[in-house]
Amino acid sequence: MTRKLVMFDIDGTLLDHDKKLPASAKEAVQSLKEAGHEVVIATGRAPYFIQEIREELGIDSYICFNGQYVVKDNEVIYRNPIEKDFLIDLANIAMPHEHPLVFMGEELMKSTIDFHSEIAESLATLQANIGPIEMNANYYNDTEIYQALLYCKVHEEALYREKFPNLHFIRWHEYAVDVLPLGGSKANGIAVFIEKTDFTKEQVYAFGDGLNDIEMLQYVGHGVAMGNAPDAVKKAARYVTKDVSEDGLAHGLEMVGLL
């Protein structure tokens, strides 16, 4: 079989609803690697949120921050930070509305508030073994920020979408919205990755389940939505597999002929 490039989201795709890696998923990834395919993680998480699963699966290439930070064979090949002025303006709107922000850099993340229960609750769902987040409302002065987390309710999102046409907002939690540079997506990160390899789009397979996976599933030659994905994600995919808790990843790989 011709060598393929296989992209996997983490939450709800590689990891099940309890944030566990199903044995079938681990075996499937190993089989892909043994067959000579290149396996890459494509996630909205920061690099420091994926170290454990990368080590368990032996994956050295990954796309983080929803496409804004791309690593191939442990070497950073692409960075797309949010413009500092946009972050300043965002903070100037969010803070008076008492909407906390978390600024995510390459190595650390900092919050505009010392503690907030919604930040703690949302990040706890990732089970990424992170400690308390330090407060630094001006963290963008110290480092490049690739993604921000905005804490507001669904009905409050319109305020930010209207005022910040140069930013991209994707809700990932009841309390939290990812904030990215305009045009930023996993698809953009994949395009960069492809440029550095000899793969074509038709040779790329991507698996995902979240709203932040829509562009990725539409972009690649073979987009596979998990059975637990919302309808909007399934409509964007070429294929739909079973729920992650029903060995959906392995089933999807069999469906597209990679296993």
pLDDT band, very low/low/confident/very high, at 29 (cuts 50, 70, 90): very high
Q: What is the mean pLDDT of the chain?
A: 95
DSSP tag of 15: B
Residue 156 has pLDDT above 90, yes or no: yes
- HSE (CB half, 13 Å, CA atoms) of 179? 28
CATH entry 3.30.1240.10 includes domain 84-181: yes
CA distance 152 to 179: 12
Strand order in the sheet with 5-8: 75-79, 69-72, 62-64, 38-42, 5-8, 204-208, 222-225, 239-240
In sequence order, what DSSP letters do the residues of 158-176 get, joined into one string? HHHHHH-TTEEEEE-SSSE
Residue 116 has pLDDT above 90, yes or no: no
Q: Which of 50, 62, 141, 52 is nearest to 103 (CA)?
A: 141
The residues, ordered by sequence, that sit 6+ positions from 85 with a Cβ below 8 Å of its Cβ are none
pLDDT band, very low/low/confident/very high, at 115 (cuts 50, 70, 90): confident
pLDDT of residue 228: 98
| Sign of the alpha-carbon dihedral angle for 66, 69, 70, 73 | negative
List, for residues 206-223, the tens digit of each pLDDT value. Answer: 999 999 999 999 999 999
Residue 128 has pLDDT above 80, yes or no: no
Residue 48 has pLDDT above 90, yes or no: yes
The residues, ordered by sequence, that sit 6+ positions from 18 with a Cβ below 8 Å of its Cβ are none
- Catalytic status, residue 9: yes
CA distance 171 to 154: 8
List, for residues 71-92, the tens digit of each pLDDT value. Answer: 999 999 999 999 999 999 999 9
DSSP tag of 245: G
Domain boundaries, the chain: 5-79+185-255, 84-181
5-79+185-255 and 84-181, same CATH topology: no
Question: What kind of fold does domain 5-79+185-255 have according to CATH?
Answer: Rossmann fold (3.40.50)
The catalytic residue among 9, 16, 178, 247 is 9
Q: Which helix (H) or strand (E) holds 218?
A: helix 214-219
Both structure tokens of 204: 């790329």
Residue 104 has pLDDT above 80, yes or no: yes
